[in-house]
Amino acid sequence: MAAAERPVSRIVSAVSGKRQIDPDPGYEIDLASEMRQRCSPDALLAMFNRFSQSTGWLDSALRRACFHALVKRCGVGVQVGINVSLRHPETFEIGDGVFIGDQAILQGRHDGSFVVGERSWIGPQCFLDARDLVLGRYVGLGPGVPILGSEHTGLPVEVPIVATDLVISPVRVEDDADIGMSAVLLPGVRIRTGAIVGAGAVVTQDVPAYAKVAGVPARVIGSRLDETMDD
């Protein structure tokens, strides 16, 4: 009996990073403006949650309108998946063509800042501790990526850790960087331009530009620049 042939990989064109960004429909922008004038932030968030369950055209349109009304700044062509959770969206600045996947949790803070550059992709079930977080342009976050921007001091030791003060540390992911599925970014790290973080890695320190890192804790295993020079 002949051995089964090994399946062959294939290369296809990217979709999200190359899709055309069309202007948002005028009725969505008008509705968002009317919502912002008439509704309190709590009421807007309740409406966003009400329309968060369905992928149908109407619920998707109403969800986008609510999102526009809630955030500090929102570009055109932003896609918001179902069951996305928002906290302090008034601190969010979202660029053109950003994708936010199903069940993502975007947790801001009343005095914080969350900025996402154009065409960035936030995968399903990501958890973003978005209290001082900047994602550059064309950043990719794979499914299930947690980005942590704060931690308890744990001091004094006689106080329960969850009752001690929080240290909020800025996290920066620069343009064109790609974070693999379930990789963890810890508070205070900077992922430089064009770097790749492997799936499941735990990043505890800054990642150089165009580096490839993997492991727990994450370590440099190569450079994308070396691959370019080999071509």
Cα 133 from Cα 187, distance rounded (Å): 10
pLDDT (mean) for 118-130? 98
pLDDT (mean) for 82-106? 98
Q: What is the CATH number of domain 77-230?
A: 2.160.10.10
pLDDT (mean) for 85-96? 98
Domain boundaries, the chain: 24-70, 77-230
> pLDDT by residue (tens digit) across 172-195?
999 999 999 999 999 999 999 999
- What predicted TM-score, i.e. pTM, was given to this entire model? 0.92
CB-based contacts of 28-33 (< 8 A; 24+ apart in sequence): 28/61, 28/64, 28/65, 28/68, 29/68, 31/62, 31/65, 32/65, 32/66, 32/68, 32/69, 33/69
Confidence of residue 227 (pLDDT cuts 50, 70, 90): confident
Residue 229 clears pLDDT 80, i.e. is over it: no
Residue 44 clears pLDDT 80, i.e. is over it: yes
pLDDT (mean) for 81-107? 98
